[in-house]
Structure 1
């Protein structure tokens, strides 16, 4: 699932549903949970960072994402084939929120369009309801599916592979630059954002932190200003390795089958 494109793109896509665009114009730190001895970290900083992502691939952790146009948090629990993600657009009174739940072959989405929904009855009616999605109708909507063979919500390994310069700055802390043109498959820096950066995309600063077990606990990218977009720092954190809990299905009383309007939003 692509966090950045999903949260910004899909929430924005809601404005493209007939009648909504006009309405719009009017209107923590992760902790180490394991005490087991950590394997010796590679001496090479880049190798150490790549090794730090191996535990992510096991698909049992919690995460947060913040900075720029979005904030989010979630859980990945591969043992139960479940995951969830909560996202918000972070725009004060117009704040839009979304909660995605995946359990095996079932998916649900809950959407709250904030103040925009006050004058759009169909959007207001969605508040508090989880829309159960027909997977056959969203099979081509990659942002509405969760791939349990590629569970990293931010694609940190892709960013680490694009590192052009890195040094260790302290115990378990690193800093350097990445060539963002080689990291457009990550969920933090997509192709559109990289294109807007121009030459600055070749040397985007980052910092990273590892927990005492040598696992990635934080990766922060300092995205330069580009065009009308101000500079921002997008930070993803990972915690509760091996200790996440299975995601539960939404309460039955809050579930409805997805409306045609919902499918139109995600097909925009």
Structure 2
């Protein structure tokens, strides 16, 4: 069943972007072909761009601390499995300690690597890492699978505490809401929001048999969902049939 996340604020938007980029990096690192390792490295450099533009470490530490405080209040609740609660608290503690252990700015070890930064500069130019532009890079690509994997994992290592913290926070966020089965008449759905604690993200699940996708416009007051179809030759067009879907409003 296809699932779509829509963030309501910049912090969650950043978390989702980093999660998406890490998924691609980690997949390509474990592959063997030099083209996949090329994609892994360029995606890693995109993560570095996001880290440069945000106070990600402090945001993550604050959120982990807040979640730990909330989880501690659940101790003794008969509806909560004590062993599972202890596991989550331990994961939060491990992720927090790993983030604090790195004294430098997130990604600083990569920024100090002059060779990687030269690749990053060229990667911003279409076709800018051709072998005649950066022969040292193509020499690296030709060193072999094991050598490339070792380098990529060493470059990823200082960023993994950030990845682990984001995975924990987004897992808690996605599990925080209650799901509602809804119908979008003629492919359109609107819902007004209320309450003192606005949602931070919504999640939409659509049956695999439905040949459309959602486009969301939302703020703390209202949600507007338009289901579209795609024919790959023009911009998306409105889907005119009723759509059954599941909506989850998530809040940490």
* Higher strand proportion: 1
TM-score bucket of the superposed structures, by smaller chain: under 0.3
Q: TM-score, normalised by structure 2?
A: 0.26
Q: Select the structure of larger CA radius of gyration.
A: 2
Q: TM-score, normalised by structure 1?
A: 0.25
* Higher helix proportion: 2
